[in-house]
Amino acid sequence: MRLGIDLDGVVADFNTGWVNRYNDEFGSNVSSDQVDSWDAMGDLTHFESMGAFWRWASRGTHGSVFRHLETYPDALDTLTRLSKHHEIVIITAKPDWAVHDTFAWISDQRIPTRELHITDAKWRVPCDVYLDDSPRQVIELHINRPEAIVCRFVRPWNESVPGTREIHDWDDFEMLVDSLQS
């Protein structure tokens, strides 16, 4: 099967990454546990707008905020196991300035994929199963890919979408994919 996997919020811990960098640079005490909405960065930081936040995130001594993210626990091990019997297709939405850092991050983390799509129209990439955390993307995938299984990685910033599967951790996802093979 083709497994369409999102990066940020699913494989890469974007919120811990930007929070740690923000705290280091500005002497703040923001916690990634405070991120409970899609655009929480605007409420939790001093930036006047989301545009200002993204301008800050795009710069850095050693790359953008996307360059040095940690993976979520079990993400890499699970993807590696799944890649033995399935195609891992990375489908992520990124600003243009983050493309090179995304390629480098995938290489550094040794993500087991031969296919990467950086697009906001994730539904245009055909897969059998999708895993995403974006409230908008989960809905768009469900609407535009009715033949596929769409999984919402449950996070504080998203809500249940009727007709999709809820995934709470990487074990849940692996069990779901394994069950589809039976």
pTM, whole model, 2 decimals?
A: 0.95
* Whether 112 contacts 80, CB under 8 Å: yes
Fold of 2-13+69-181: Rossmann fold (3.40.50)
Task: Give the pair of three-digit tokens for residue 92.
Answer: 């992520």
Torsion angle of alpha carbons 50, 55, 57, 62, nearest 10°?
180
Task: Specify the pLDDT at position 181.
Answer: 82
Task: Specify the pLDDT at position 182.
Answer: 67
Query: Other C-beta atoms within 10 Å of 10: how many?
Result: 24
Task: Specify the pLDDT at position 61.
Answer: 77
Torsion angle of alpha carbons 38, 39, 41, 46, nearest 10°?
-160
State the 10-residue block means of pLDDT for the chain, 182 residues long: 98 96 95 92 92 92 91 97 98 96 96 97 98 97 98 96 98 97 74
Domain boundaries, the chain: 2-13+69-181, 15-68
Name which of 1, 6, 150, 153 is nearest 84 in CA terms. 1
Query: Other C-beta atoms within 10 Å of 120: how many?
Result: 12
The helix/strand/coil state of 160 is coil
